[in-house]
Structure 1
Amino acid sequence: MNVYSSVARIGIRSTIAAKPQRSVKPFIRTMAATPNGDLNNTSAERVRAETAIDPAYQDLSLAIPPSEDDFDIRKAYRPFILEGEDATQDWIAQLELSTVLKMVDTQVLKPGDDRLRVVVLHGSMRQRSYSRLLAYEASRILFRLGCDVRMYDPTGLPVKDDVQHTHPKVQELRELSKWSDGHIWICPEQHGTLTAVFKNQIDWIPLSTGSVRPTQGRTLAIAQVNGGSQSFNTVNSLRILGRWMRMFVIPNQSSIPMAYKQFTEEDAGSRLMPSGNRDRLVDCMEEFVKYTIIMRPHFDLFGDRYSEREEKRAKQAKEANKPAPDTQHAALSTSAGPSN
């Protein structure tokens, strides 16, 4: 038995010793060199050309000068404007935005087109509303980029019902939306979603008023402010709202955590302090302007739908086949026969 055991053990050891040890490194290198092993799919990445900075636009401002601005519009809709030295020394004036400034100058202003028309909505009426403060900062960036920016004040807007359509604040909001090329929506997060103040504004904007659609085809940028840690519940809800309103929501978005720590005190101007969150807001406004410039010339094209063309054709065919009023009356008289 000992002999057999010894032979068995020798055989097992021989079998184990005969197997060569596998090298893991070549296998890993092989996987990295194949598409299936390229976890980030870098092999399919499109090569992008770096955009050159045009020094002529580096420090430029395309803001509407006071001499060319409508006094009443400026007073009613531009509370964000900084005057004098505050404007020239402001952090927004120092931003490197040459690419988008050049786009606005060469594709909008020099050809003589209207400035991009932007409506800004915010979702709080508190005295120190952080969504309003963030809306101010967003508006200042857009204003420097040459946009005609108008901030709507929700104070006095009635709660949505089916009666007060002629209320001045309702009419004001609807007219601003019809006038606009794009919207900026900035809302606090409350109880895990957007506020009633903000939703009430959207509820007052109809999807259509006759043949006019106050939001369809407009571009939209979204942002939220948080009282606590960073969340994206509200911007997600805003994105869904924008889709339902038939708007084009830009891919980027901004969420400001612990907003009470992100702004200076009132005596220092209540300004957004330097951070990655501030940089993201700039990214969003820059991206919004680029998309709006590209899409605005095709505004009517985006509203052209097969189903609506078919509906219109069916209505026209029905009208064409409808008998004239006199013919219809004569046919009814004949079928009734002579009266006794």
Structure 2
Amino acid sequence: MSSSIPSNIDTLNDDADNATREILPYLGRMLAIPPAEDDSEIRGAYRPFLLDDETAKNDWIAQLELSTAMKMVQEDLQNTRRDRIKVLVLYGSMRSRSYSRLLAYEAARILFRLGCDVRIFNPEGLPVKDDVQHNHPKVQELRSLSKWSDGHVWVSPEQHGNLTAVFKNQIDWIPLSTGSVRPTQGRTLVIAQVCGGSQSYNTVNSLRILGRWMRMFTIPNQSSIPKAYTQFTDGDAADGGSRLIPSGNRDRLVDCMEEFVKFTIVMRPHVDLFADRFSERSEKTQQAERQQQQPKTSDARNIVNGIDVSSI
């Protein structure tokens, strides 16, 4: 009588044991910036997603199995002398109970556990895009955060079948270039949307177009939350309030943040390589040639019949 037990059962057991040993060191582990090492002003201004210590300790995010990503982050911190991945989070609604903000907070908590330096920009007070208010404090704040970042998280509601004006206004204030600096070029990007009704992908599709236009690397995965008003706990719930309920939608958000961290770790050392383009090198060469020729042209204009007339 033939046995139904696989002939490679010992190998299968060994693989399972090895996988378990890989996971165990990271179960419940946090790579987040500890309060003692965090800048108190930054923490107060840009980390509204933080939970109190007791809630965070028993939170669902603290229990996630993220061993592969955490191992990568740990090695990256060692290799870069603790240069953490710098993440800017943007959301697209200023409602008192903004589901895009609540989703952005959950994404930020996952990334923070994974050791990222996460900062959320509050769009309230940002003026409507024009050609005048470039020195407005909120505009300067947004541009500074974009320049500082290694990657972005974009979360927008879907309104009238697409992204909101609140979200698009933030992107419009981030220029493609500031002098020789491109504030978004080479950054990684993860996108998500919240829907008031059934699940849609109009907004994330538009966010992909925006990301590509801003010369960013958008990860393949994305998150779309249908009927967002049914997907969060009450504001005064014991879990910290306004938290994503367990579902496949929540699992997808975790997938996206994990993938985003992996992509950023892989891409970050090579940003300058991907920014090295033939067209831009040619443009710089032409600018340098024009600058070399300009003094000669100026000198010729200032000399008339052997007399320097530049000061006349």
TM-score (norm 2): 0.88
- Equivalent position to 2:261, from 289, 311, 314: 289
CA–CA distance in 2 between the matches of 1:71 and 1:193?
37
Cα-to-partner distance string for 1:265-301 (whole Å, 9 max, x where unaligned): 1111110000000000000000000000011111111
Greater radius of gyration (CA): 1
- Equivalent position to 1:136, from 86, 89, 105: 105
Q: What are the within-5 Å matches in structure 2 for residues 262-277 of structure 1?
A: 262-268=231-237, 269-277=241-249
Q: CA deviation at 1:71?
A: 0.3
Q: 1:63 is aligned with what amino acid?
A: A
Q: Secondary structure at the match of 2:156?
A: strand
- 1:156 to 2:128 alignment: no
8 Å CA contact 1:62, 1:145 repeated in 2: yes
Cα-to-partner distance string for 1:216-236 (whole Å, 9 max, x where unaligned): 110000000000000000000
- Residue segments in structure 1 that go unaligned for 5+ positions in a row: 1-48, 335-340
CA–CA distance in 2 between the matches of 1:240 and 1:254?
16
Q: 1:318 is aligned with what amino acid?
A: R
Q: Name the counterpart of 1:210.
A: 179
Cα-to-partner distance string for 1:301-331 (whole Å, 9 max, x where unaligned): 1111101111222232334445636862586
CA–CA distance in 2 between the matches of 1:246 and 1:326?
38
User: Could you tell which deviates more after superposition, 189-198 or 314-323?
Assistant: 314-323
CA–CA distance in 1 between the matches of 2:121 and 2:60?
24
- 1:78 to 2:38 alignment: no
- 1:315 to 2:287 alignment: yes
Q: Secondary structure at the match of 1:324?
A: helix
Q: What are the within-5 Å matches in structure 2 for residues 221-260 of structure 1?
A: 221-260=190-229
- Equivalent position to 2:144, from 175, 178, 186: 175
Aligned residue pairs: how many? Answer: 287
What's the Cα RMSD here? 2.0
CA–CA distance in 2 between the matches of 1:203 and 1:176?
14
8 Å CA contact 2:23, 2:65 repeated in 1: no
- 1:220 to 2:189 alignment: yes
Q: Name the counterpart of 1:20.
A: none
User: Could you tell which deviates more after superposition, 108-117 or 223-232?
Assistant: 108-117
- 1:306 to 2:278 alignment: yes
Q: Secondary structure at the match of 2:305?
A: helix
Task: Give identity over the alignment, percent.
Answer: 71
Distance 1:171-1:331 versus aligned 2 partners, 3 A rule:
closer
Q: What are the within-5 Å matches in structure 2 for residues 94-109 of structure 1?
A: 94-109=63-78
- Residue segments in structure 2 that go unaligned for 5+ positions in a row: 1-14, 307-312
Q: 1:142 is aligned with what amino acid?
A: L
Q: Secondary structure at the match of 1:291?
A: helix
Q: 2:185 is aligned with what amino acid?
A: Q
8 Å CA contact 2:26, 2:70 repeated in 1: yes
CA–CA distance in 1 between the matches of 2:294 and 2:95?
58
Q: Secondary structure at the match of 1:150?
A: strand
